[in-house]
Structure 1
């Protein structure tokens, strides 16, 4: 049996997973992504549909389905990269942006992880306080940080084991709670509440798309140990897809119902009101527990990204579990401070984070997927990811970085935010279409630029150029 399969504490960080340490079942990808969405943050996000965007139940459901079914497929395409390359997602991004150029995305993703980790800490602590009033929010945040830290230090296998357990345990609690609310907790006239606006509908679609794409920078971290055969890769995609989509949509539908039935700015408390005791207490305990356990995925991802950033300048540095533990401790402490700082203004801070992420992640995901599936067809020189000079990919890929920057800039006129509304968004009734503009621009532009580079390289090779760079690499 493989060494890693028997190890209690994961030995790897960002290094390549050897073939003799590949293990696991793709159905574990279903459970880890299903269970990771069962926390209170998912339910709170669903409540945005009626409470922030003013949508009725029917329009909320449609917006959620459109966003998650579409965004989930993009996210699952990233997951399928893991078995083929055996490295974390952000290391693989060096193949598109160059070893140093990839830092532009890596640092953004670290901020994302910290934001989601802190957000989950707040909601988990609030759930714990409501279930056990003797435990204040700050103490709950500290407890959540400690539990997530332990899981992160042990690593990959423990996270998958927790995913299997929490899928059945907390998934059952969620289903019972949803049925209770649907058949006995909704007020008269529930279906007539809320309404429709194009801006609100597209805003909630955006939330669903981004919810899924926010996993893209680290989804293959949890599939990179899987065997690399073709059937396994296909199964990786679909198990990840349905696990994440179903795990997201169920709690968000509950959030929609809670937001319409009770309203207010505290969906967790509103859900407890609808459930009544003792089911409310059980649900609150499950929220607190699932948040502490699955929030480790955010801390784990942030740690791998920090290692990736440092290794960019120290190419021989491939640390093991001790360094991962120290970095996790530092990042966990930072998230504790962030969570304590914005606990009282959670909803506003969280919504701002959602919109920030959508503008920077969409162009990255388009470049990554186009490059992997349409330009290189999954074929990369993995040793170059760790080379001092970036190997055949160089330190900087000016083409990818230029398209990425343009993809973000093209979104600006379509932004509709509290602090800024672009002219085109205003002309469309203050409808935020920034994410869609970024996706529609970046995908064909990068595909054209990359294929043009391939043709130029092929022409140089045909004319006898002695030192032509690979068709997918910019010169240093």
Structure 2
């Protein structure tokens, strides 16, 4: 290896993990926030989410389009509000959770998030492996392994490489998506009755809205991981709108493609549907969407590793994990995800739908607590050194209002849940319509705000905290 290539490799490798990013190491422009979310969302798993609307919920295409639009637009607001926190605080999203839940109180949420990342990584491996098996003769299992390994490489190199991968895919996958729509409608054509198939039902409609909203909200626990290196003067508005536009547009259009494919070929799997829809260039489109999975998997694995390191550092506060430790954790998560992928590949859509709806229940109360605390209670001002202190510093080990609201948030959603695993009494009375996430947000956001303000001494405690302006070290 030449000295130049070795130097390039070292520069590309991210050496920091969960520590605070100093101001003099900040870099990048707000436009990178658009490309990382736009490029990383144009992939097979996004298309599969759209397929659920017509192939599983049996909605007509028009209703699927409306539901997917509402879910992405609404869910994107919640997700992008978290993105604006990164440039101000300079720490990973899950580490910041210590400020709301306390050092030990945050462990439950962070552990759930690690499980989520692992499950998404496994889901992406299944679709990517199926795509490679469709395009080549290597077989599904080797394809699953190969897609996973590519994601591991990106996660090991870290922040810069993942941003670069997504930037390239913004152009490449974006063009492939446009080509797929053109081929589907202008060349291949839709089977007779595609646009008139299905029947409207509020259960399926709200289920689709929920899936699309969760697609956006599921990024909330790690969206700041990709803004924490941004300069502080990036600005809240710039970070919000660049992230919002990139993620909503990058998610919505592949989902719309999936909804049409699901109506046109309801018995085909997602990979076969994309290949068919692309006609003469179907193999090329499928290959690009499969490559995109590697970038998204790198993001999932990278953030899963940061969250795992956050758990370890919480239990051993003096521990300072580095790039080598991140590599080891990435390898372990990959191995676990591989087992899950191989075990669940036979019923992919069903397993994926259940996963998404389950995550919706456990993520909603966390996002409500985090956003209220950041924007309404502390106004973005936190004592960063306390996040790394053994006892949680000024935030303590357990913040009762936050932990209490998190558990309450899960409990209040249960009667409103409606999915293959469980249907609550209120959901049954509503004809199977699931509005649990709406109820969770509507209840927990004001409850947390009032609880914190009403707790004895909380107003004085918050006012007296030795905060540093907008999350920087004093």
Correspondence for 2:109:
105
3-state DSSP of counterpart to 2:41: coil
Instruction: Give the structure 1 partner of residue 165 of structure 2.
Output: 162
Superimposed CA distance per residue, residues 17-56 of structure 1 (whole angstroms, 9 cap, x where no aligned partner) = 0111000011111111011111100001101111111211
Matched, 1:143 2:134: no
Change (3 A) 1:228 1:5: farther
Contact 1:5–1:23, Cα closer than 8 Å, also in 2: no
- Answer with 340-349 or 372-381: which moved more: 340-349
Q: Which residue of 1 aligns with 2:156?
A: 153
Taking the aligned partners of 2:361 and 2:107, their CA distance within structure 1 comes to: 17
State the distance in 2 between where 1:274 and 1:11 align. Answer: 43
Name the counterpart of 2:296: 294
Question: Distance in 1 between the 2:454 and 2:364 partners?
Answer: 23
Match of 1:252 in 2: 255
* 2:438 counterpart (412, 433, 436): 436
Deviation digits for residues 260-314 of structure 1, max 9, x if unmatched? 111115122022223223x111012112211123210010011001100010011
Distance between the aligned counterparts of 1:472 and 1:335, measured in 2?
Answer: 41
**Conserved 8 A contact 1:173-1:286:** yes
Provide the residue aligned with 2:206 in structure 1. 202
SS of corresponding position for 1:446: helix
Q: 1:114 aligns with which of 112, 118, 134?
A: 118
1:219 aligns with 2:223: yes
Q: How does 1:4-153 map to 2 (within 5 A)?
A: 7-132=11-136, 134-153=137-156
Separation in structure 1 between the aligned mates of residue 9 and residue 93 of structure 2, nearest angstrom: 21
Which residue pairs with 2:452 in the alignment?
450
In structure 2, the CA distance between the partners of 1:161 and 1:110, relative to structure 1 (3 Å rule), is same
1:4 positional shift: 12
Could you tell me whether the CA contact under 8 Å between 2:52 and 2:349 is conserved in 1? no
Name the structure 2 match of 1:383.
385
Say yes or no: does 1:177 pair with 2:149. Answer: no
2:339 is the alignment partner of 1:331: no
Provide the rounded CA distance (Å) in 1 between the counterparts of 2:142 and 2:250: 28
1:346 maps to 2:362? no
Aligned residue for 1:355?
A: 357
Q: How many angstroms apart in 1 are the aligned matches of 2:292 and 2:237?
A: 28
Deviation of 1:452 after TM superposition, in Å, equals: 2.0
Deviation at 1:469, TM superposition (A): 7.3
Secondary structure of residue in 2 paired with 1:42: helix
CA deviations on 1:243-267 (whole Å, 9 max, x unpaired) are: 0000001110100110111111512
Q: Distance in 2 between matches of 1:290 and 1:415?
A: 32
TM-score normalised according to structure 1 size: 0.93
Deviations 1:350-374 (A, max 9, x none): 1110111000001100110010001
Question: Within 2, Cα distance between the matches of 1:220 and 1:48?
Answer: 29
Q: What is the number of equivalent residue pairs in this alignment?
A: 459
Runs of 4+ in 1 over 4 A off after TM superposition: 3-6, 468-473
User: Is the aligned partner of 1:311 residue 2:313?
Assistant: yes
Contact 2:180/2:277 (<8 A) preserved: no
Partner of 1:271: 274
Secondary structure in 2 aligned to 1:417?
A: coil
In structure 2, relative to structure 1, the CA distance for the partners of 1:412 and 1:40 (3 Å cut) is same
Considering only aligned residues, what root-mean-square deviation do their CA atoms show, in Å? 1.8
Distance 1:472 1:197, change over 3 A: farther
Moved more, 9-18 or 330-339: 330-339
Q: Is there any run of 5+ residues in structure 1 with no aligned partner, and where?
A: 462-467
Q: 1:457 to 1:350 in 2, by over 3 A?
A: closer
- Name the SS for the 1:293 alignment partner: helix
Distance 2:304 2:342 in 1: 19
Distance in 1 separating the partners of 2:421 and 2:394: 42
> Is the 1:5–1:21 Cα contact (8 Å) retained in structure 2?
no
Q: Is the 8 A contact 2:38 2:246 kept in 1?
A: yes
Superposed, 1:363-442 pairs within 5 Å as 363-442=365-444
TM-score scaled to structure 2, two decimals?
Answer: 0.94
CA distance in 2 between counterparts of 1:339 and 1:374 reads 41
Partner of 2:265: 262
